[in-house]
Amino acid sequence: KQEVTQIPAALSVPEGENLVLNCSFTDSAIYNLQWFRQDPGKGLTSLLLIQSSQREQTSGRLNASLDKSSGRSTLYIAASQPGDSATYLCAALGGKLIFGQGTELSVKP
């Protein structure tokens, strides 16, 4: 049974820092991995989708990597801003979407 874990559960950083959010999954037989952003009480916004054949994807200040063999994905946020404050969720897709519990990020001005 696929399990997805995100570390840390919460993170607080000063504005301008580069940061890494971690996601690990137990079953490497995934088709893709998707990173989402969720603002409090709001919906999920897709940030990046990494296909199983890819190693990374980039969008603006965001870069996501995928290492299937080790069961890990990371989301790198460059030059963080207060507007980046949100909960970040990773989800592994291998037949169905399995979510991690999320990392709550706070970027202080």
Partner 1 sequence: EAQVTQNPRYLITVTGKKLTVTCSQNMNHEYMSWYRQDPGLGLRQIYYSMNVEVTDKGDVPEGYKVSRKEKRNFPLILESPSPNQTSLYFCASSFNTNNYGYTFGSGTRLTVV
List contacts with partner 1 (CB under 8 A).
31-32, 34, 36, 41-46, 49, 51, 89, 91, 93-97, 99-102
| Sheet strands side by side (includes 4-7) | 4-7, 19-25, 72-77, 62-67, 56-59
Q: Which is nearer to partner 1, 80 or 88 (CB)?
A: 88
Nearest approach, Cβ of residue 23 and partner 1 (Å): 13
Rama region for 28: left / alpha / beta (φ>0; ψ in -120 to 50; rest): alpha
Shortest approach of partner 1 to residue 44 CB, angstroms? 4
Q: Closest separation between CB of residue 95 and partner 1, Å?
A: 6
Query: Closest CB to partner 1 among 13 and 44?
Result: 44
List all residues 6 or more positions away from 54 whose beta carbon is below 8 Å from its beta carbon.
66
Residue 20 three-state SS: strand
Instruction: State which residue, 68 or 80, has the beta carbon closest to partner 1.
Output: 68
Nearest approach, Cβ of residue 81 and partner 1 (Å) = 23
Closer to partner 1 by CB, 13 or 94: give it: 94
Helix/strand/coil percent split, the chain, to 5:
5, 60, 40
